[in-house]
Amino acid sequence: MRARRTQNFPRAVGGCVHDKPVSDMRVIQGGSEHCDILSTLHGTGFSKPWGSEEFAALLGQPGVAAWISESNEPSGFILVRAAADEAEILTLAVIPEQRKIGIGALLLKTACEALSAAGTKQIFLEVSVKNTAAITLYQKSGFARRGMRTAYYGGGKDSEPVDAIIMAKVL
Ligand SMILES: CC(C)(COP(=O)(O)OP(=O)(O)OC[C@H]1O[C@@H](n2cnc3c(N)ncnc32)[C@H](O)[C@@H]1OP(=O)(O)O)[C@@H](O)C(=O)NCCC(=O)NCCS
């Protein structure tokens, strides 16, 4: 895990608060000022972290939006891209010490509600067939399996390619 997680970020406008299931957790809209935090959070969930400049580039694209959960410190985030009346989840992660208390579900709910309010009708994602935690989270959040992408992930020197499941939810 990368070390820098104590940085505070502004209480953003446009965020929303959910009372359950994690009552002390706020979810705020992420912006260009949060790229370092987003990169650090991403590094806690994936072996190839995206740099803050990658987040800056993504957040500069039309339709791309992020939400960050925080209580005393940032605990997770979701990044989505909307186009016309569809959207895709680009990435989602919760820091290891705060997993399994409902933050992933809260981030998904926040993104889906905001996207729906902005006119998105359906949201898609790809998830590794090996990622049981994420698949279960998505299923419990109302996503259904729509197809497969063979050898979608990896396939480097030291790893075999891994298939992805395509999932979707009608909002
Ligand atoms: C996947 C991830 C975002 C889940 O976040 P989370 O905050 O732990 O998820 P939640 O606490 O909201 O869990 C919601 C449901 O998902 C399922 N779930 C979560 N973690 C699970 C696990 N390790 N094993 C099995 N099911 C799990 C449970 O059904 C859970 O509901 P329950 O606690 O009522 O049983 C988190 O594990 C993570 O950041 N993983 C690394 C990055 C990643 O894989 N991102 C997804 C890429 S597609």
**Structural domain includes residue 31:** yes
Note whether residue 89 is domain-resident: yes
DSSP H/E element including 64: strand 64-70
HSE (side-chain half, CA atoms, 13 Å) at 50: 20
- Does 110 reside within a domain? yes
The tokens 């705060």 sit on which residue? 98
The answer to whether residue 4 is domain-embedded is no
Residue pLDDT, tens place only, 66-116? 999 999 899 999 999 999 999 999 999 999 999 999 999 999 999 999 999
Mutate to test the pocket of ligand 1, among 20, 99, 162 (most ligand atoms within 8 A of CB): 99
Atom number in ligand 1 closest to CA 134 = 1
Nearest CA to ligand 1 atom 39: 93
In order of 46, 64, 132, the CA distances from 87 in angstroms are 22, 9, 23
The enclosing domain of 143 has a CATH number of 3.40.630.30
Which position has the higher pLDDT, 11 or 58? 58
Q: Which two tokens stand for residue 94?
A: 């919760």
Distance CA 117, CA 113 (A): 6
Q: In the chain, what percentage of residues exceed pLDDT 70?
A: 88
> What are φ and ψ of residue 58, in 5° steps?
-65, -45
Q: Cα(43)–Cα(52) distance, rounded to whole angstroms?
A: 11
pTM, rounded to two decimals: 0.89
- Nearest alpha carbon to residue 66 among 96, 25, 21, 36: 36
Residues with CB under 6 A from ligand 1: 45, 92-94, 99-105, 127, 131-134, 136-137, 140
Q: Is residue 146 part of a domain?
A: yes
- Tens of pLDDT, residue by residue over 129-142, are 999 999 999 999 99
